[in-house]
Amino acid sequence: MKLIAIIPAYNEESTIEDVIKATSRFVDEILVINDGSKDYTSEIAKSAGATVIDNIVNRGLGRTIQRGYDEAIKRGADIVIQIDADGQYDPKEIPKLIQPIIDNKADLVLGSRLENLKYEMPWIKKLGNKAFTWLLRRLTGADIRDGQTGFRATRKEVFETLKIHGDFTYTQEMIVKASREGWRIANIPINFYQRSAGDSRLMSGPLSYAWRAWIIILRTIRDYDPLRFFGVPGIIFIITGIIFGTAFVYKYALVGFIGHTPAVILTSLLIIVGVQMIFMALMADMMKK
């Protein structure tokens, strides 16, 4: 059984060497996908013994990780371990992460950070993680405990069939697609440490993170549950329009005229838009399937 670790990296010269050396004890090969770093990440990774795949320009996290999986497939990986280059995950926990796959109890194993935090995660990031995790539970019906983790193990049959398209939605994409293909998902509690150096490419500030997080949540619902995304607002619009319309009809029955022409137009628009959104929901759901 061949184990390959993929490590996406962008400007991680201060931590990449330690991560590679610690990881190398538990896998057969390490692939560092250097996403256009402007420092010495690539050179340090090569000297530490990793195979480095360089993106000439920064292509984004999702595409970088997909390139890592594609390369792992070419090299005959049976299990791929994905771990970040910033040192927040402990490579010593790789054996327990892959054990459910070896025991044939899981196809995708997620390292759950939220049980064993070794530092106080910023509240906005913790809130975002919980929101993503709740959403993934609703979309998949699976017991997901940390939907944003960057420490995960994947069986060959899973990563051969998955294609990642989004830069910041890849964590959700993999989980949702794996669930919909019927793959078994397991959670393993892991330790999670504070970054010792550098800045996260995903969190430039609390407001930026919050905005990006909720955009991702909305896009995830749109892409994987369009019936709810378009259908629920459509029903709300129709019901609101019917309520206003009933009031106008009642007024007309009492006094013989309606008045409030703008309100009548708004009522009509609510019903029309609601019906259109219902049709969009049905069409999008059919296309998804």
pLDDT for the residue numbered 219: 75
Banded model confidence at residue 245, pLDDT cuts 50, 70, 90: confident
Which residues does 37 contact at the CB level (< 8 Å), separation at least 6?
Answer: 9, 10, 11, 12, 13
Element (H, E) at 188: strand 185-192
pLDDT for the residue numbered 119: 60
> Is pTM, for the whole model, over 0.85?
no
Banded model confidence at residue 208, pLDDT cuts 50, 70, 90: low
pLDDT for the residue numbered 285: 82
Do 59 and 38 form a contact (C-beta atoms < 8 A)?
no
Gap between the Cα atoms of 282 and 277, Å rounded: 9
φ/ψ of residue 202, rounded to 5 = -95, -15
> Residue range 247-260: average pLDDT?
73
**Maximum mean pLDDT: which of 104-118, 200-214, 227-241, 242-256:** 227-241
User: Which of 4-8, 13-17, 212-216 shows the lowest per-residue confidence on average (mean pLDDT)?
Assistant: 212-216
Gap between the Cα atoms of 34 and 99, Å rounded: 28
Largest CA distance in the chain: 87
Pairing of strands 152-155, 108-117: antiparallel
Gap between the Cα atoms of 36 and 182, Å rounded: 35
Q: Which of 106, 101, 92, 91 is nearest to 1 (CA)?
A: 101
pLDDT for the residue numbered 205: 57
Is 112 a residue whose pLDDT tops 80? yes
Domain boundaries, the chain: 3-224, 226-288
Gap between the Cα atoms of 178 and 172, Å rounded: 10
* H-state helical runs in 78-122: 94-102
Is 14 a residue whose pLDDT tops 80? yes
> Residue range 118-135: average pLDDT?
75
For 108, the token pair is: 């995708």
pLDDT for the residue numbered 155: 95
- DSSP E strand boundaries for 17-166: 29-35, 51-55, 79-82, 108-117, 152-155
Mean pLDDT of the chain: 86
Gap between the Cα atoms of 51 and 278, Å rounded: 51
Torsion, Cα 73 20 126 95, to 10 degrees, reads 70
CATH code for the domain defined by 3-224: 3.90.550.10
Is 120 a residue whose pLDDT tops 70? no
pLDDT for the residue numbered 131: 80
pLDDT for the residue numbered 152: 96
pLDDT for the residue numbered 200: 54
Gap between the Cα atoms of 154 and 80, Å rounded: 5
pLDDT for the residue numbered 4: 98
pLDDT for the residue numbered 113: 87
Gap between the Cα atoms of 192 and 117, Å rounded: 5
> Residue range 234-255: average pLDDT?
86
> Is 231 or 161 the better-scoring residue by pLDDT?
231
Is 199 a residue whose pLDDT tops 60? no
Gap between the Cα atoms of 27 and 5, Å rounded: 7
Beta bridge partners of 116: 191
Banded model confidence at residue 241, pLDDT cuts 50, 70, 90: very high
Is 171 a residue whose pLDDT tops 90? no
Question: How far lies 164's CA from each of 63, 65, 172, 173, in Å?
Answer: 7, 8, 10, 7
pLDDT for the residue numbered 227: 87
Secondary structure of 124-145 in HEC code, one letter for each residue? HHHHHHHHHHHHHHHHHCCCCC
Is 35 a residue whose pLDDT tops 80? yes
> Residue range 184-209: average pLDDT?
73
